[in-house]
Structure 1
Amino acid sequence: MAHGPAHQHAHEHNDTEIDWADMAEHLQTQAELFTPLHEHALAWLGGKQTEPGLIVDAGSGPGVVSCQLAEAFPGARVVAVDGSEPLLELARARAERLGVADRFATLAGELPDVMADLDYPADLIWASHSLHHIGDQQAAIAAYAERLSIGGTLALVEGGLPVRFLPRDIGIGRPGLEARIDAVQADWFTEMRASLPDSVPVTEDWRTLMTNAGLKPSGTRTFLLDLPAPTPDRARAVAADTFERVRDKLADHLDAEDRTTLDRLLDPNDEASVHQRPDLYVLAARTVHTAVRTG
């Protein structure tokens, strides 16, 4: 179960099965681009609690944030948990490169059931955009709560705002392309949630869901990624991959003019493409909801 913003990945619309291993490069590059945002979020978390002994990244994907957790909390052991073994291989390799492998482990299995295989309760469970890929989100939060130590924190990264790369009017096609893509992705997200095993509709009031699981909400904060134009090459790569996935998987749900615009945005030889245009930027918001196990 890889993490990543469902509203920000260009997911498959008709086929709600996601090949996370196939998305490895995109997940890795995007998470690296979001490093400053995660640094601020982890610093905020660090100021709210004592140094954790065991941290679990529930839905770790390729382990970019797992390794940031290890760096932010140098006294902690980190366990990256994911349903994709190829992504966990990348996580282990990253931990080795960054010199944190001696206190880094991985656990393969489907969330939330695999959490029962942890040897010890966690002092911090970080679940970034993985919860919404579990059919019964309330039951999953309850399972996470059971695996927390007394005084331990659950940090859910859910909500926020979709990534923006472009101005409303980009000089080609009809203005408002990204807003229309958002609408198509929102429809896909609804279909994806409904197709999950044991899917349960729920109001996405994360504080209430955590309270229902016996946790005490301890804070909510939204963090921004603000990379104004001109952007680095990594941002252009993420933008290109994002729009390519939209074109490949969701284009049938856009009109012909928008499909033509996407083609131009993805043509490296076109001055209007994300590869060349000078007005490309990155603006995103991710919200972290925290709650503590008190007893």
Structure 2
Amino acid sequence: MNPHHTGDLDRDALGARLERQAELHLPSLVEAAEWLRGMLCAGRGADSLVGRVLDVGSGPGVGSCLLAQYFPRAEVVAVDQDAGLLERALARAGKQGVDDRVVAQRAELPGDFEELGSAELIWTSHAVHHLGDQQAALDALAARLRPGGVLAVAERGLPPRFLPRDIGIGRPGLQARLDAAAEDRFTSMRAALPGCARTVEDWPAMLARAGLVPTGTRTFLTDLPAPLDLPAREHLHAHLMWLRDRIGDRLDEEDRTTLECLVDGDACTGILWRPDAFYLSATTVHTARACARR
């Protein structure tokens, strides 16, 4: 699995970008963690029911540390293929005082699924789509669940919106064209994955085929109105730089020129200075439970 593949991008810059992005979504992650805790830990003394949590595709560990706070008796395992991101996850755990329960495990998926061990909760955010056979990935994750455990899969949702339709430069509707170009790139990326298998991305149905009982789907909004604070602007600047480098060749000349204006750190039309920039995104989480043994 390589959910963070970026070619020659500096690894420290990648880690900072991913951590900043996750922190931007922290309120919605908190809502998701509260939902999962209610699903798994209802009743007095129920904290002890969750002894191990897997965060598969953890990146810099923002989710791992949050899960450690919401499941205070659990060992939380940050799982990623990138050693640098795992180091960042452990450093974050130390700063947040949960380093006694957050551990790192480097894994190359799908080959290392069996090395993950079992858990009462498996959380995976935007990682399954980086594996060629998504159904096989869910099957493997389901097999790691302990009886009564929950698999929570955050996938797709809605791409972030952050610009008005008409931004005063270039042709109106740039955001929609950026989304379309990014979707084309995503389709090409999936087609090039080893063992790529097309499937209807009906996640509850896929979880059911993995032998689990679907227990609900919820969508969590990140809604930051204009004017944005500096961390959000810095994230959008990095995001637009990433789009320029990854999908610039899929845009026409006018849109490429507009994109250059948006990433210009000194221009008043740039994303770092625009008063009309906002941030609205939706993260959808699908859950399913392993049947408890009788």
Q: Per the shorter chain, which TM-score range?
A: over 0.9
Kindly indicate whether residue 144 of structure 2 is the aligned counterpart of residue 147 of structure 1: yes
Within the candidate set 121, 125, 128, 2:125 is matched to: 128
One-letter amino acid of the counterpart of residue 172, structure 1: I
> Residue 48 of structure 1 aligns with which residue?
39
Within the candidate set 96, 99, 113, 2:97 is matched to: 99
Counterpart of 2:139 in 1: which secondary structure? Answer: helix
Deviates more, 1:42-51 or 1:146-155: 42-51
| 8 Å CA contact 1:31, 1:64 repeated in 2 | yes
For the aligned residue pairs, the C-alpha RMSD in angstroms reads 1.7
Within the candidate set 199, 202, 207, 1:205 is matched to: 202
> Residue 252 of structure 2 aligns with which residue?
255
Give runs of aligned pairs for residues 90-239 of structure 1, distance below 5 A: 90-119=88-117, 121-239=118-236
Q: CA deviation at 1:45?
A: 1.2
Alpha carbons of 1:156 and 1:133: their partners in 2 closer, same or farther (altered >3 Å)? Answer: same
One-letter amino acid of the counterpart of residue 243, structure 1: L
Deviations 1:93-152 (A, max 9, x none): 111111101011111011243232234x20000010000001111111111111100000
Kindly indicate whether residue 286 of structure 2 is the aligned counterpart of residue 279 of structure 1: no
Alpha carbons of 1:179 and 1:257: their partners in 2 closer, same or farther (altered >3 Å)? Answer: same
> Residue 246 of structure 1 aligns with which residue?
243
Counterpart of 2:129 in 1: which secondary structure? Answer: helix
Aligned residues: 284
TM-score (norm 2): 0.92
One-letter amino acid of the counterpart of residue 77, structure 1: E
> Residue 8 of structure 1 aligns with which residue?
none
Alpha carbons of 1:24 and 1:277: their partners in 2 closer, same or farther (altered >3 Å)? Answer: same
| 8 Å CA contact 1:108, 1:114 repeated in 2 | no
Kindly indicate whether residue 15 of structure 2 is the aligned counterpart of residue 24 of structure 1: yes
Q: Which runs of 4+ in 1 moved over 3 A?
A: 1-4, 17-22
Give runs of aligned pairs for residues 261-272 of structure 1, distance below 5 A: 261-272=258-269
Q: Percent identity between the aligned chains? A: 50
Give runs of aligned pairs for residues 30-69 of structure 1, distance below 5 A: 30-50=21-41, 51=47, 52-69=50-67
> Residue 7 of structure 1 aligns with which residue?
none
Deviations 1:3-62 (A, max 9, x none): 58xxxxxx87xxxx6969462221111011111110111111111112421110000011
Q: Which runs of no fewer than 5 residues in structure 1 stay unpaired?
A: 5-10
TM-score (norm 1): 0.92
Alpha carbons of 1:191 and 1:19: their partners in 2 closer, same or farther (altered >3 Å)? Answer: farther
Alpha carbons of 1:85 and 1:151: their partners in 2 closer, same or farther (altered >3 Å)? Answer: same
